[in-house]
Amino acid sequence: MVDHNAAIFIYRNALALFCAAGITISPGPISNEIPLPKPPPAVTITDKKPVAFVGTGLWRYLRKGINYLEASGRDLSTRYKHPGGKAYGPLALTPIAIKDVKLHYPLLSSHTLDDVLSDRELYEKFAAAYAELLLKHYFKMDFFRMPKEEVFEVLQKGWFLGPTLYKKGHPVIASRQTRAAEYIDSPTIII
């Protein structure tokens, strides 16, 4: 009687010796009893465009408005920490927003907070993904069919309050609402 484990051990060691010596083994099966492991499938993952409206006129309008509200239109560093200590950069992206994007967009999930704050392009991707997440997932809006001013009004409130407080009807502070109205009334504000 042949010990099956011993046979596998001998087979693997013999195969390793043949390979090390440069001897070629035919690609056919060695035995019906010992299956060779299958190679893992090739997987290509790219996160170049995780959101639908990156680069569209709508996103440019929304981004410009959020920047106007959060940073008075200044082109801040992505590492700039806002006075409240909880938001970063020209769009006041928060660690909670970044975590939420990572949760809902698997192609972006491998990036850390430090990655996002170190790379302007990645920061912009996360900001656009968060905007889409608020509008599409949390607020169930068909935002491409709505006037951009209405979309901005909802987004700026959700961006400031977060999805939970926005859905509960909490108001934003009056000064922010006044600035949002300024932007909506005058979208040509030079930033």
pLDDT at 127 over 50: yes
- 110 CB burial (10 A radius; 0-12, 13-18, 19+): exposed
Q: Helix, strand or coil for residue 88?
A: strand
d(CA 15, CA 76): 60
Q: Give the whole-angstrom CA distance, residue 116 versus residue 113.
A: 5
Structural element, H or E, at residue 70: helix 57-71
Q: What is the mean pLDDT of residues 122-128?
A: 94
Q: Return the closest-CA partner of residue 62 out of 122, 124, 140, 113.
A: 124
Q: Could you tell me which of 189, 134, 185 has the C-alpha nearest to residue 156?
A: 134
Which pLDDT score is estimated for 49?
Answer: 45
Place of tokens 């390793």: 16
Lowest mean pLDDT across 17-26, 88-97, 170-179: 17-26
Q: Give 46's pLDDT tier (boundaries 50, 70, 90).
A: very low
Count Cβ atoms within 10 A of the Cβ of residue 134 and give its class: 0-12 exposed, 13-18 middle, 19 or more buried.
Answer: buried
Q: Which pair of structure tokens corresponds to residue 73?
A: 């239109």
Provide the pLDDT confidence category of residue 33 given band limits of 50, 70 and 90.
low
What share of the chain in percent tops pLDDT 70?
Answer: 69
pLDDT for position 57: 85
Q: CA-to-CA distance for 36 and 51, rounded, in angstroms?
A: 41
